[in-house]
Amino acid sequence: MTDTQILSLISAWQPHFSSLLLAPSHSEFSAARRIWNGMIDRQPALIARCTSPQEVMSAIKLARNEGLHVSVRGGGHGVAGSAVCQDGLMIDLSPMKMVAVDPARREAVAAPGVLWGEFDRATEIHGLATTGGQVSHTGIAGLTLGGGLGNLLYISTSPVAWRPWRSHHSSPGSRG
Ligand SMILES: Cc1cc2nc3c(=O)[nH]c(=O)nc-3n(C[C@H](O)[C@H](O)[C@H](O)COP(=O)(O)OP(=O)(O)OC[C@H]3O[C@@H](n4cnc5c(N)ncnc54)[C@H](O)[C@@H]3O)c2cc1C
């Protein structure tokens, strides 16, 4: 995809996003495509930093309409680097940070950009914890899909059930 094609795609789709869509020429692009494994050096055609489920839907529509393949970034700690695609659309969910804890039901609902340490802090103030990871900066998205080998794995103590964010939960960025 040429620079001109990318820029015209951005002007058509930017109104659907609250954060700037990033082309490779943008000053924030290099930082946005960087993940934990520094050996991964792929360059997406475009990065969409999503802040809501609606924006994720727009990103998927964009990719479908424009014939781009996609990758999804949560905490960016997948060692294989599958969060970053080459020449496609990288859907960056890292701005989605909401954690809502319902202590009575011992349940937490969390958005896909939350890191393990952020999730842990939100539950521990209620005296609740669950197994996730041992390293605070891994993403809960990847831990949910595979992994989840944390300190509490073999200990039964104050478990909190948690499930991914659904769109009926309000305000990204808020914490309960
Ligand atoms: C330093 C370090 C320490 C670690 N410690 C532990 C540990 O203690 N315990 C443990 O179990 N694991 C551990 N891991 C492994 C880590 O949990 C996994 O690599 C996990 O997949 C990282 O998730 P992420 O969201 O940060 O990564 P990402 O790279 O963002 O995502 C991982 C994969 O999930 C996909 N994905 C992300 N979000 C979504 C989504 N919303 N929908 C669909 N697909 C999605 C991505 O495309 C990618 O393929 C560690 C990894 C590192 C690098």
Q: Please state the rounded mean pLDDT for residues 143-172.
A: 65
Ligand 1 contacts CB of residue 70 (under 6 A): no
Q: What is the mean pLDDT of the chain?
A: 89
Ligand 1 contacts CB of residue 81 (under 6 A): no
User: What does the pLDDT read at residue 175?
Assistant: 37
CA-nearest of 11, 151, 169 to 97 is: 169
- Which is the closest atom of ligand 1 to the Cα of 115? 26
Give me the sheet containing 107-110, strands edge to edge: 99-102, 107-110, 161-164
Question: What is the reported pTM?
Answer: 0.90
pLDDT level of residue 164 (50, 70, 90 thresholds)? low
Nearest CA residue ID for atom 18, ligand 1: 78
Nearest CA residue ID for atom 49, ligand 1: 82
- Which is the closest atom of ligand 1 to the Cα of 72? 47
